[in-house]
A and B are shown apart, each in its own frame.
Chain A
Amino acid sequence: MFNPEPSRPLSITAIAMITALIATGCAESTRDGAGGDSNESQPLVFAGAGDPRSVDPVLTNDGETFRVTRQIYDTLLTHEPGGTEIVGGLAESWEQSDDGTEWTFKLRDGVKFHDGEDLDAEAVCANFDRWYNFTGNYQNSNQTYYWQNTFGGFAENEDKDTPEPNFASCSAPGELTAVIKVKEPSANYPGAFSLASFGIMSPKVIEKVAEEKVTGDPGSPVLPAYTQEAGTVAGTGPYRLVDWDHDAQEVTLERFDDYWGEKAKVKTLIIKTISEEAARKQALEAGDIHGYDLVAPADMEPLKEAGFQVPVRDVFNILYLAYQQETSEELADKKVRQAIAHAVDRQRIVDTILPEGAKVATQFIPETVEGWSPDVTTYDFDPEKAKSLLKEAGHADLDIDMCFPTKVSRPYMPAPQDIFDIIKADLEAVGITVTANSMPWGDYIPYTDSGGCSLYLLGWTGDFNEAFNFLGTWFDGYDSGWGFRNEELFALMDEVSSTPGQEQRTKLYQEVNREIMDYLPGLPISHSPPAIAFAPNVDPPAVSPLTQENFSEASFS
């Protein structure tokens, strides 16, 4: 058929489409580089891995939320920039009574809230009294998780399973002197006063939200509106909340000009959400963001080569291989536990998988935590010894299951699958048959927690510098995730938790650590710093082992 120019209109459409697509891309770059001082004109965009949950920090327990609220609120105590030592925050100084039940805080003078109110002892007490007097759905353990963990229950507990309150009272003997009394001394203090959950809010806001409730029927608690938007909350932090765009998953913070400390360098700070690890990296490389948290170790070197900054945090966590002695009876035999410890090449995991700055762990707390013991029993990589220990125990052909989580990267455990693979290969090299079992993170915790796995990978990042915050998580009593009863250890833990003096505690912790590493309930694998990355044109804030970066220190260079 004679057909010289077929369907021109259609070809034109196609070409137009393609041109339009390309043109779209070219136009994109015109918006950047507004000129002038970029600290004033350009927002600093930082990406976390998840959405924040609430801008009232007492109602949450996750790091993604705290990254935002730490910029808005200050706490009574805080940690030194880039370190783990507890230093004054809103309190210039503090002291404890000898029995550890009375904590006196001397507050800074001239601190203003974002709504213009002044900080005084009454304001501090207004916060503590509010938390202590929570009723209704506020008492749910997922609404007030940290409060219940550190100060126990409430003035009037509404559920029999809510713990008894350990908080007694807060009083203001002087304008800038706040006294907080607790019923029993605990290893949780003074660390608890530094928790981001206990950010101090303006008393005026507290008045305003006094009637706000966690509403909803059973089964569907709805957080009050003020926790989901800008406009109501006000703290004393370097940034104030100006917008939370749920559509764009974007929190916008702006410099608070009356901040008591050094003012924020960048005027506008934006916190975004990118849940995919690889997508965060690509967004940084493409210039869509200026920094992100939880960098995959494999990405660190390529990022550095491309000129990005990957500052290394100090370690403040632990990754361990847990032994569940009830699920697998063989593990109740200490020789088998030791054999596994000798079989695993932990140094290789640190050398090839974990990010720069990682160390092999000798015990369940990192070296920076008071109470770390230099003389615990150690277990070197020695496959021959592992084999002979297994033979002695009569389990030369041990068959065991091991679990790891998929599709997740924890601060203490990047690439769980690779770590699993290495351990599996190591164990098989000494004659142990390993059955793999993996599941998504959401299923993993309940499964391992209820004793579903004989061996499993898990870890912990400390909330504050206190060994109990680590050891108490696992070893202060029988735990279905471990399945052992070592009364001697439990008694030691009990003693240390009620000892008020820091020095005595440190001694006791060292004894506990020796006891643990002798008993070997699990194998501590490594301490590894969760990596964070910034664009080449950013002066990053001091990176914190507790992942408490203070973004007011950051600026464009």
Chain B
Amino acid sequence: MLRFIVRRTLQLVPTLFGLSVLLFFWLRQLPGGPEYALLGEDATAEQRATLRRALGLDDPLIVQYWRFLTRLAEGDLGTSLQTGRPVLDEFALRFPATAELAIAAIVIAVGVGIPLGYLAARRRGGILDSAVVGGSLIGICTPVFFLAFVLKVIFAEHLGWFPSAFRQTPGFSATRVTGFFVLDGLMTREWDSAWDAITHLALPGLALSSIPLAVIVRMTRASVLEVLAEDYVRTAEAKGLHRHVVRTRHVLRNAMLPVTTAIGLQTGALFAGAVLTESVFAFGGIGSFVYAATQTRDYPALLGFILIIACMYVLINLLVDISYSLLDPRVRVS
């Protein structure tokens, strides 16, 4: 097991290195450059030229890449050109927002999806089943940004149940510890602050959860159906084992295998969906920042962010593989 983890982690290195090379050279091929975004409509050609030189953008690409690598060796990803702050700080600042949103979405998707999928499977062909199957299909097929808008119009504007934007009510002077607002509230025992952050998570979390929810519901349903048809379940029931035991020990546990994979894959995909959701809800996470960075050609920020995200994405997949092998003794990792 340990060797498996070590090997997979080592495999990360060439992947990330290759990715950094590709990204670095590719980004520099994009038309325009940061000097335009930074200086605005009215700058003269000379001003732009000076800035390019000052930013070192006129050096040969190889030199620039080498500079990036040497800095990286010291754990420095460079400075965001948009904000003038180190990329790592910038990431640390925005990551909690996105992570909080992604966790909220996954919690909703798992918390609602698995029970619903299970129920649908148990009462196959019933009204609930049809509703779940139909609803999840519609969930997959609705553009996230549109759903986010609709949710906001209904629940924030008309019903006024939830706030329509931000991570916390403006002026809520909460103590910041980790940058995860809910966690901060719990750690500092500022319960109202944590609660406030949760209410702000509800709508964007719900919008972002639509696709993972649909996927998890369907996965659970299909998987439970499959397990229910297995001989060992029938045997167990025939043996007269208590229904509850059969359900939890045999059905759910075995049905969860493919679901785990789906959850893992969806978590990665959430980062992409967050780009859209964050901008609709002014949530200020990684998504909006990366989007702004592509607009301003903020090379260091783009490169750094994508590398970190890719790294996390691969790590999540590794975690999925590991949990898979823990759940299913049949899968031997070697």
A residues sitting closer than 8 Å to B (CB atoms) are: 3, 6-7, 10-11, 13-14, 17, 21-22, 24-29, 31, 43, 45, 47, 51, 53-54, 61-62, 137, 139-142, 145, 148-149, 159, 161-163, 214, 216-223, 227-228, 243, 245-250, 252, 268, 270, 272-276, 278-280, 282-283, 285-289, 440-443, 445-447, 449, 458, 460, 473, 480
Produce 1/0 per residue, B56-94, CB < 8 A to A.
110100001001000100000011011111100000010
- Is B40 in the interface zone, CB < 8 Å from A? yes
Ordered nearest first, which 3 A-B pairs have the shortest CB separation? A25-B161, A220-B79, A218-B56
- Is B112 in the interface zone, CB < 8 Å from A? yes
- Is B279 in the interface zone, CB < 8 Å from A? yes
Given A247-B96, A247-B176; A285-B162 close (CB under 8 Å) = no
Is there contact, CB below 8 Å, between A279 and B123? no
Give A61 to B41 CA distance when docked, in angstroms: 11
Is there contact, CB below 8 Å, between A17 and B108? yes
Is there contact, CB below 8 Å, between A6 and B279? no
Chain A residues within 8 Å of B214, by CB: none
Interface with A: B4-12, B152-160, B321-329, which one?
B152-160
Chain A residues within 8 Å of B206, by CB: 21
- Return A159 CB to nearest CB of chain B, in Å: 5
- Return B176 CB to nearest CB of chain A, in Å: 6
Is there contact, CB below 8 Å, between A159 and B39? no
- Return B62 CB to nearest CB of chain A, in Å: 14
29 contacts between A and B (CB under 8 A): A6-B122, A7-B122, A13-B115, A24-B162, A24-B202, A27-B195, A28-B161, A51-B83, A139-B54, A140-B54, A217-B78, A219-B64, A219-B78, A220-B55, A221-B55, A222-B79, A223-B84, A228-B84, A247-B181, A248-B170, A272-B170, A272-B282, A274-B282, A276-B280, A289-B165, A442-B295, A445-B32, A445-B40, A458-B41
Q: Which residue of A lies closest to B293 (CB)?
A: A442
- Is B199 in the interface zone, CB < 8 Å from A? yes
Chain B residues within 8 Å of A246, by CB: 93
Determine which of A29, A142, A460 lies in contact with B160 in the assembled complex, contact meaning CB atoms within 8 Å: A29
Give A223 to B165 CA distance when docked, in angstroms: 29
Chain A residues within 8 Å of B257, by CB: none
Is there contact, CB below 8 Å, between B47 and A25? no
Is there contact, CB below 8 Å, between B164 and A279? yes
A218-B67, A219-B64 provided; 12 other pairs, C-beta below 8 A? Answer: A7-B118, A25-B161, A28-B162, A31-B196, A43-B171, A141-B47, A161-B50, A221-B79, A274-B282, A442-B295, A445-B32, A460-B42
Is there contact, CB below 8 Å, between B160 and A286? yes
Given A245-B176, A247-B176; A228-B85 close (CB under 8 Å) = yes
Chain A residues within 8 Å of B106, by CB: none
Chain B residues within 8 Å of A163, by CB: 46
Interface of B is mostly: helix
Q: Which residue of A lies closest to B295 (CB)?
A: A442
Given A26-B161, A51-B83, A222-B86; A443-B31 close (CB under 8 Å) = yes
* Number of B interface residues in the complex (CB < 8 A): 92
- Is B314 in the interface zone, CB < 8 Å from A? no
Chain A residues within 8 Å of B149, by CB: 278
- Is B210 in the interface zone, CB < 8 Å from A? no
Give A3 to B155 CA distance when docked, in angstroms: 37
Chain A residues within 8 Å of B83, by CB: 51, 53, 223
- Is B144 in the interface zone, CB < 8 Å from A? no
- Return B303 CB to nearest CB of chain A, in Å: 11
Given A24-B195, A25-B199, A163-B46; A286-B295 close (CB under 8 Å) = no
Determine which of A47, A159, A221, A473 lies in contact with B84 in the assembled complex, contact meaning CB atoms within 8 Å: A221
Chain A residues within 8 Å of B67, by CB: 217-219
- Is B37 in the interface zone, CB < 8 Å from A? yes
- Is B53 in the interface zone, CB < 8 Å from A? yes
Determine which of A31, A248, A445, A480 lies in contact with B192 in the assembled complex, contact meaning CB atoms within 8 Å: A31
Interface set, chain B 244-292, CB cutoff 8 A to A: 247, 279-282, 284, 288, 292
Is there contact, CB below 8 Å, between A248 and B54? no
Given A6-B119, A246-B93; A446-B31 close (CB under 8 Å) = yes
- Which of B43, B54, B199, B297 counts the most A-chain CB atoms under 10 A from its CB? B54
- Which of A162, A250, A278 counts the most B-chain CB atoms under 10 A from its CB? A250
Is there contact, CB below 8 Å, between A17 and B282? no
Q: Which residue of B lies closest to A43 (CB)?
A: B171
Given A24-B199, A141-B47; A279-B54 close (CB under 8 Å) = no
Chain B residues within 8 Å of A279, by CB: 164-165, 279-282
Chain B residues within 8 Å of A275, by CB: 279, 282, 288, 292
- Is B294 in the interface zone, CB < 8 Å from A? yes
Is there contact, CB below 8 Å, between B123 and A6? yes
Q: Which residue of B lies closest to A149 (CB)?
A: B42
Is there contact, CB below 8 Å, between A145 and B39? yes
Given A247-B179, A268-B171, A442-B297; A159-B32 close (CB under 8 Å) = no
Is there contact, CB below 8 Å, between B170 and A460? no
Give A282 to B47 CA distance when docked, in angstroms: 39
Interface set, chain B 126-174, CB cutoff 8 A to A: 149, 152-153, 155-157, 159-173
Is there contact, CB below 8 Å, between B36 and A249? no
Chain A residues within 8 Å of B42, by CB: 149, 460, 473
Given A24-B195, A221-B79; A283-B165 close (CB under 8 Å) = yes
Is there contact, CB below 8 Å, between B164 and A285? yes
- Return B151 CB to nearest CB of chain A, in Å: 11
Q: Which residue of A lies closest to B107 (CB)?
A: A17
Is there contact, CB below 8 Å, between A447 and B122? no
Is there contact, CB below 8 Å, between A10 and B84? no
- Return A116 CB to nearest CB of chain B, in Å: 25
Give A267 to B288 CA distance when docked, in angstroms: 31
Chain B residues within 8 Å of A159, by CB: 50, 53-54
- Is B51 in the interface zone, CB < 8 Å from A? yes
Given A26-B161, A268-B171, A286-B157; A446-B33 close (CB under 8 Å) = yes
Chain A residues within 8 Å of B171, by CB: 43, 45, 250, 252, 268, 270
Is there contact, CB below 8 Å, between A447 and B53? no
Is there contact, CB below 8 Å, between B165 and A286? yes
Is there contact, CB below 8 Å, between B35 and A24? no
Chain A residues within 8 Å of B31, by CB: 443, 446-447
Give A280 to B281 CA distance when docked, in angstroms: 9
Is there contact, CB below 8 Å, between B196 and A28? yes
- Is B317 in the interface zone, CB < 8 Å from A? no
Give A282 to B156 CA distance when docked, in angstroms: 8
Give A333 to B10 CA distance when docked, in angstroms: 65
- Is B198 in the interface zone, CB < 8 Å from A? yes
Q: Which residue of A lies closest to B148 (CB)?
A: A279
Is there contact, CB below 8 Å, between B198 and A24? yes
Interface set, chain B 96-113, CB cutoff 8 A to A: 96-97, 108, 111-112
Chain B residues within 8 Å of A29, by CB: 160
